[in-house]
Amino acid sequence: MLFICAGFIACTDDDKVKITEFTLTLTEPEDLNVTSISDLHVTFKNVNTGKLTTNTMTGTTGKLTLNEGLYNITVEGKMNYIVDEKNVEGQVKGYKESVNLVGTTSADNIKLFLFNSKADFVIEEVYFAGSTTLEGKQYSGDQYFKIYNNSDSVLYADGLVILESEFTTSRQYDYTPDIMSQAMTVTHIYAVPGNGKEYPVQPGESILICDKAIDHTIATPNSFDLRNANFEWYNDNDQDVDNPMVPNLDIIYSSTLTIWTLNNQGLKAYAIARMGVDKQTYLKDYLYECSYVNSGYTMTKNYYKFPNEWIIDAVNISNKAQYVWNVVDPSLDMGFTYCGEVASDKNRYNKSVRRKVLSTTPDGRKILKDTNNSTEDFEAKATPSLKQ
């Protein structure tokens, strides 16, 4: 099957532009009984120029002529599959970064996944860069997450887990074995306490989870009074501050011996999830031993892995200049968002990343955008919601 292409090869009139005949093969999701895939739209984004080329495919293999270059490829379409002897239609997506088209011919493969559009909790906002004092110095301790009920039903925050990635979006290695399609490699896992129905969240409402639930405006007017946060994360040692009036998150795993602070450059991924096993089983059975080459030396590390099937929502964060890859599977997030343009960008302070509003219901409830693409779903370098 061939791509249906039109109107984007005009630049080949310039004999100096090298072109490649690219063959793209799409692989069906392994865990589904797929009967058909249709309405496939493929977008090629030239990493260097930002130019977008969108085409359609009539099958799972197609050929296209493109200028040589480095591309990010996004696939969207429809898929029919069998569940309990019934035919179900769903949305299918795929994504691959840094596909290098070089030479007269080139080929690559992208794994498709079923996009789950069921409304649930989503990450509404991450305030990671921190604030500034009146003297322009960095102020930390006021980092926070806002988690939003994007459904039309009451959801319970009890047991909801916040994850931080072990890997950074600014440095890429070839980790062996590569488990990204099955799990997220994590460095912190904190969970909301509760007995199952202790912390209800109404449709269209948020919970605020912060580092230190104190009045930070005493130190700097650029910060916030977080004493009314719903939860705080607290490491029980002399370096942390605890507000006894605000419930602490339960620590499932933390790689730090001191306190957990979010990467203030924004070089991590964050996710929310629900554990599929208890804490003791997790710590026993979900170790991840991997190796990679760094400066000519083979490094062997032990991390923890968190199954993708437990994850509800994820966001990759970087700054634009340092971004090199996503550290979660494309089925969780196909893009990234940011507060800083470059490394150590002082303009990142006093800003957050905030999920965009898709629509508003007649009763005024906001529905936030959730396409599993943080580039599209989030407002970068935004004014923090607590400032508004």
Model confidence pLDDT, tens digit, residues 228-248: 999 999 998 888 999 999 999
**Same-domain pairing of 232 and 367:** yes
**Same-domain pairing of 334 and 373:** yes
pLDDT on residue 15:
53
pLDDT on residue 343:
96
**Same-domain pairing of 257 and 318:** yes
Least Cα distance to 28 among 64, 78, 73 occurs for 78
Distance from chain centroid for Cα 47: 19
**Same-domain pairing of 289 and 331:** yes
Residue 11 reports pLDDT greater than 70:
no
**Same-domain pairing of 104 and 174:** no
**Same-domain pairing of 40 and 184:** no
**Dihedrals phi, psi of 221, to nearest 5 degrees:** -70, -10
Question: 97, 115, 133: which is the final residue of a domain?
Answer: 115
Helix (H) or strand (E) holding 291: strand 287-294
CATH number at residue 96: 2.60.40.2100
Q: What angle do CA 316, 130, 320 make, to 5 degrees?
A: 40
Which residues constitute the domain of residue 306? Answer: 121-387
pTM of the model: 0.88
CA distance 381 to 369: 17
CA distance 213 to 192: 15
**Same-domain pairing of 136 and 184:** yes
Tokens of 379: 């407002």
pLDDT on residue 6:
37
Q: Is residue 178 part of a domain?
A: yes
Question: 83, 98, 115: which is the final residue of a domain?
Answer: 115
Overall average pLDDT of the 159-184 stretch: 97
Q: Is residue 5 part of a domain?
A: no
Burial of 274 (0-12, 13-18, 19+ CB in 10 A): middle
Domain count, the chain: 2
**Same-domain pairing of 131 and 37:** no
CA distance 28 to 304: 28
Question: 50, 82, 115: which is the final residue of a domain?
Answer: 115
Residue 59 reports pLDDT greater than 50:
yes
pLDDT on residue 236:
87
- Residue 180: pLDDT band (50, 70, 90) is very high
Q: Is residue 1 part of a domain?
A: no
- Residue 13: pLDDT band (50, 70, 90) is very low
- Residue 12: pLDDT band (50, 70, 90) is very low
Amino acid letter, residue 349 = Y
Model confidence pLDDT, tens digit, residues 324-363: 999 999 999 999 999 999 999 999 999 999 999 999 999 9
Model confidence pLDDT, tens digit, residues 150-167: 999 999 999 999 999 999
Q: Is residue 210 part of a domain?
A: yes
**Same-domain pairing of 100 and 172:** no
Q: Is residue 161 part of a domain?
A: yes
Q: Is residue 327 part of a domain?
A: yes
Q: Is residue 3 part of a domain?
A: no
**Same-domain pairing of 60 and 106:** yes
Residue 38 reports pLDDT greater than 70:
yes
**Same-domain pairing of 329 and 360:** yes
Residue 208 reports pLDDT greater than 60:
yes
**Dihedrals phi, psi of 387, to nearest 5 degrees:** -85, -20
**Same-domain pairing of 48 and 96:** yes
**Secondary structure (3-state) at 217:** helix
Q: Is residue 2 part of a domain?
A: no
What secondary structure does DSSP assign to 300-332, as a single string?
A: EEEEEEEEGGGEEEEEEEE-TTT----SS-TTT
